[in-house]
Each structure stands twice: as structure tokens, then as C-alpha cells.
Amino acid sequence: MNAPLPTPVQRIELPTGTLDLRIDSGASELDALLGFAARANAKRGFLFLSKVLGKHWPAQPIDMLMVHERLAATVPPLGGAVQGPVVFIAMAETAIGLGQGVFEAWLRAHPGQQALFLHTTRYRVGDGPLIEFEEAHSHAPRQFLHTPVDPELHALLLAARTLVLVDDEASTGNTFVNLAAACRRLNPGLERVHLATITNFMGRAATGLLDTRFGMPTTCGALVEGEFSFAQGPLPPDQGVAQRYEEDADRGASAAFGRLGTARALRAPEQLAARLAREFAPGSRVLVLGTGEFMHVSTLFGAALQRQGVDVVVQSTTRSPILTWGAVDHALTFPDNYGEGIANYLYNVAPGQYDHVLACHETAPGPALFTLARLLQARLFHFQSEDHVEEVPVR
């Protein structure tokens, strides 16, 4: 993929090839933030697996919120010639929760300043305008960005001068460039871009060329920085399609949590957390499970439980096929709850591992969710909005 690095700090032999990694900054945090996994994907056979996303690895909410604050602090300050609202966009699927958390942390640190949050998605919501772009290395390459239909939110998008793109890692920057170009066509007044990532493995030379690639001043804030090269080995077996996009299909994806934009932080389900905490026996181990793109609510739910003294971690299901190797020691497969007819996965969770599993979902309850609930002995919580949450009896 890249030319071999002259002095790799670390060489990782994966079942799918050889990954060489040089760390330029943040080496002391590498093990706490990151693991390595092998992807069942001939386009890219490796995965930088974050341990603080609440996606493929069990993460404590307090650790996740701290990462959100640190990445929000990397956004350059407004002032001088740069004014106007800030638009935060999180990249689906993996970084949706991360991006919304960074946006909310920035709002807390900048009271009174205007900002808009959107996240990309692989589902259409409503019939409003959207931007399509490609994440070329993904198993599900088609992504969409809905433009807000609310007039005030749409005005924020068009008035923005700073664009903040959030993902768990930057390896080439190509997807960021594609999305920023699409946003600039919509809003030619954008003046600068900031990339907020847990890891930046583009390398010093590529990072130094960001202004040229994006066509405007571009900065990058990351907790770990370095460079990688990957020598592809044996191709993994074909895992089947990971995306079946049908323009007119209703996948049950919500418009209430970020796809159509929001200018404020979501409220945590404090009352629900307090009630459940009273039900749990002392010392109970609890998993709060997000589903697919519906991630940030599970983080807020987990944080609320943690404030009640519950021993809780957060994770999410995913459409990404990953091999059982390295940072992935267990894998579960089940139908997807968005009705695409594709396989979904949950990693590093085994049935019976937790005393309580609380699965959060935006889609209406159906056979796929009931299958998942029975597999994990989980309770289902249907979040139709911040203020409307129903526990669904498992059938």
C-alpha cells in the first residue's frame, strides 16, 4: 500500500499481510488507545482497532468522554479573520459516536458559540437533498451526507467557515478529501478544515501537504501520530456484501439523532439509568450495546450508569467483517436490524460474559433484534427520541 518505512518501530505479522508502523508522537498511549486486527477485506487487510470508541472493544464511558474532550481541544480557536459557525461531521459507521462526543465537548468548552453536528450514513432518511461520496477501502463504500431540512440548521451549514471532520483514524486522508470537496461545493464560504482523529498514520510528509490536497488551510489533531506501510498477504475469504443500498427502502434509521443535523448536545437518559442501577445487584458487570450507526446514545447511557456507580462498558454491533485474530478474540454473527439482509457482527463479547446487557436501538423491534437479544440474554431499549424510550419485551 505504501513504500516500506525506513525504520519501523513495530512490525505486526497479520494473517492478511505485514503491517509496519512508525510512531512519531503518542507512543506511550499506543497500547491504551489501539490494537491491531485483520480485516476480511481484500481492499485493506488490516484494522487499527480503537479501544476508546465503544465499537469493537469494551470501553469505559469515562475514558471515551475524556478522548472527546482532548480531540475537541485540538480544534483551532475562532477569532481574527476566521469567524462563523463550526460544522462537525462524523464518519459512519465507526466514528459516529466519537464525532458527536467531540462536537458536544466543543460546545461545553465554547458556550454561546454556534456549531452544527452531522454524521454521514449509509441510509437515506426522508426525501431531502443529500451528498454521496465514496470510502473506497470499505466493505460498504457508499456513504451519504444529508443536508439539514430545518431552516435554522441549514443556515448554520451554509454560514460555516470551519469544517471539522472526525474519524477514529486517518491512514490516507482520501475519504476526508472527498467529503470536504463535496461540502465546499455546497458551501463555497468554507475557509479551513480541521481533522480530529484518535490516530493519524498519514505520515509527516502527507500531513504537511494537507493544505494543498484540501485546497484551503487544513490542520490535524490526533492523540497518536506516525506512518504505516502494509504488504498484502493472502486474501481473506469473501465475506459477502456489506451494503445493499436501495434508494426507496425504509431502513428505520432515525432523523432524531444527527443524520439531519443538530445544534445542541443530546441529553443522557439519567432517569432510566438511575432506575436500572437500583435493579442491579452490587458488583454487576453491565454492557451497554449500541447497534450499527446508533452509537452515541449508548455512550451517554453508559456514562449515566457509571455516575450511578455501575461497573459498565460500552460497545456496538457493526457491519465490518473482522477476523478472529489479534485484538479480536471472539466474534458473533447475526442478522442486521436495518433490514439490508447483510451479516452484522459483535466482537470481543461472548454470551454470558456480562451480568446485564442493555441493547440500544433506533430501528423498530423485529426478528433481527430479538435474535440478538436472545443470543446475549439482553434487554432491548428502543430510543425513538431523547424523551421517548421504551423497553421492548423480547419475543
Percent of the chain exceeding pLDDT 90 equals: 81
Sign of CA dihedral 202, 204, 205, 210: positive
Residue 213 sits at φ, ψ, to 5 deg, of -65, -40
Q: What is the pLDDT of residues 338-371, one digit of tens each?
A: 998 889 999 999 999 999 999 999 999 999 999 9
Q: What is the pLDDT of residues 20-41, one digit of tens each?
A: 999 999 999 999 999 999 987 8
Q: Which residue has the cell 437518559?
A: 269
Residue pair 309/272 in contact by the 8 Å Cβ criterion: no
Element (H, E) at 24: strand 17-25
Residue 66 sits at φ, ψ, to 5 deg, of -65, -40
Cα torsion through 105, 108, 112, 114, rounded to 10: 10
End-to-end, the C-alpha distance of the chain in Å comes to 47
Domains of the chain: 9-232 (3.40.50.2020), 270-392 (3.40.50)
What one-letter code names the amino acid at 115?
Answer: A
Q: Measured between alpha carbons, how far is 106 from 245 in angstroms, rounded to an integer? A: 33
pLDDT for 130 beyond 80: yes
Using only the alpha carbons of the chain, give its radius of gyration. Answer: 20
Q: What is the pLDDT of residues 271-323, one digit of tens each?
A: 999 999 999 999 999 999 999 999 999 999 999 999 999 999 999 999 989 99
Which residues are CB-contacts of 325 (< 8 A; sequence separation ≥ 6)? 14, 15, 37, 38
pLDDT for 1 beyond 60: no
The pLDDT of residue 237: 65
Closest CA to 73 of 223, 258, 262: 223
Q: Measured between alpha carbons, how far is 22 from 4 in angstroms, rounded to an integer? A: 11
Which of helix, strand or coil describes residue 349?
A: coil
Closest CA to 106 of 232, 4, 194, 236: 194
The b/e string for 323-344 (b: 16+ C-beta within 10 A; e otherwise) is: beebbbeebbebbbbbbbebeb
Q: What is the pLDDT of residues 68-103, one digit of tens each?
A: 999 999 999 987 767 789 999 999 999 999 999 999
How big, in percent rounded to 5, are the helix, strand and coil portions of the chain? 25, 35, 45
- Provide the 10 A C-beta neighbour count for residue 385: 11
Closest CA to 199 of 359, 19, 24: 24
- Provide the 10 A C-beta neighbour count for residue 254: 19
Element (H, E) at 347: strand 343-347
pLDDT for 203 beyond 60: yes
Q: Measured between alpha carbons, how far is 391 from 386 in angstroms, rounded to an integer? A: 14
The pLDDT of residue 394: 96
Q: Measured between alpha carbons, how far is 309 from 321 in angstroms, rounded to an integer? A: 34
The pLDDT of residue 141: 67
Beta strands at 343-347 and 356-361: parallel, antiparallel or unpaired: unpaired
Q: Measured between alpha carbons, how far is 104 from 126 in angstroms, rounded to an integer? A: 25
Residue ranges in the chain assigned as alpha helix (H): 30-33, 61-72, 96-109, 151-159, 174-186, 204-208, 210-214, 270-279, 296-307, 367-376
